[in-house]
Amino acid sequence: MRLKDKTALITGGNSGIGLATAKLFVAEGAKVVITGRNKETLAAAAKELGPNALALVADVTDIAATEAAIRQGAEKFGKFDIVFANAGIPGAGGTPLGSAKLEVFEKVIRTNLTGVFFTVQSALPYLNDNSSIILNGSVISVLGIPGYSAYGAAKAGVRAMARIMASELSPRGIRVNVVAPGAIRTPIWGAAIATPEAEKAFEKRIGLMTPLGRLGEPDHVAKTVLFLASDDSAHVQGQEIFVDGGAVASPSGAPIYRG
C-alpha cells in the first residue's frame, strides 16, 4: 500500500474528484480527513470511507473554520503527510466580459484561489517535513474558453502559486504540485445538465473536442493525485500535470479535426 501510515487532508472531499481521491487514499492505507460545506454529503461520504476517515464541515472561504477543521483532524490522526487542496466552485461561463457581476467574479476568486492559499497556510503548522501538497488546477487556465475569466484567472493563479510555494517549502522537503483536470464526469457537470438527452449531447461534444475522444472520470484524476501524494513522485516539484485526454497538449488530435 503506497500510503501506509500516512495522513491526508482533502478539501471538498465529499463528492466528485475529492471523494474518489479519499476512497483511493483509504484503500492505499492512509487516514483521511475530508472537509466540505454540505453536512448530508459529508455524512454519507464518512459512512462510505469507514473508520480511517474523518469528515468535518468547513467552507474553504471561511479561514477560521478551515483552521479549526485542520486542527481537529490533526488531533485525531496526527500531523499530515498529504494536503489535496481540491475544493472549488465551477466557473460555468459566469463571468463573460461585458455582463459579469462583481460578486460572482469575487466569489470564484475567493473560493478557487484565495481559499486554496489559506488552506495550505492553515495546514503548514500541522504538516510533516517531506510531505506532499497537491493543488487542483484546470485546463480552463490555458484554453481561453469564453465566459470563464474569473475561473481561468483563479486556476492560472493556482499554477503560479504552486511554483512559489514549492520554492518556499523546498527547505523542508515539502513538494507542491498541481493536477489540472479537463472535462471530468462529476456532480458539477450534472448540476448544469437538465436532461439525459442534454447529457448525451454534452458528452458527444466533449468527445469531439478531446483527442482521446471521451469524458474523463474522477478516478483518472484521483490516480494522478495518488502518484503526486506518494513516494513514487519523490523528485517531482513545482509541476502541473494535465489529466484532460490530450486537450491541452495535442488539441489538433481531437476527432473534430480528423478527416
Please report, for the domain that includes residue 165, its CATH number: 3.40.50.720
What pLDDT does 187 receive? 79
What pLDDT does 57 receive? 98
Instruction: Report if residue 209 sits inside a domain.
Output: no
Instruction: Report if residue 176 sits inside a domain.
Output: yes
Instruction: Report if residue 170 sits inside a domain.
Output: yes
Q: What is the pTM of this model?
A: 0.96
Number of domains the chain is built from: 1
Range of the domain at 152: 7-186+217-248
Within 10 Å of residue 255's Cβ, how many Cβ atoms?
A: 13
What pLDDT does 202 receive? 85
**Cα–Cα distance measured from residue 32 to residue 22, given in angstroms and rounded to the nearest whole number:** 7
What is the Cα gyration radius of the chain?
18
Instruction: Report if residue 241 sits inside a domain.
Output: yes
Beta-bridge partner residues of 84: 10, 134
Residue 83, helix vs strand vs coil? strand
Closest C-alpha to 12, from 168, 222, 164, 199: 222
User: Which are the catalytic amino acids?
Assistant: 151, 155
Give me the half-sphere count of Cα atoms (radius 13 Å) on the Cβ side of residue 171. Answer: 2
What pLDDT does 190 receive? 58
Within 8 A by CB and 6+ apart from 40, the residues are none
Task: Tell me the mean pLDDT per 10 residues along the chain, length 259.
Answer: 97 97 98 97 97 98 98 98 97 87 96 98 98 98 94 98 98 98 83 74 91 96 98 98 97 89
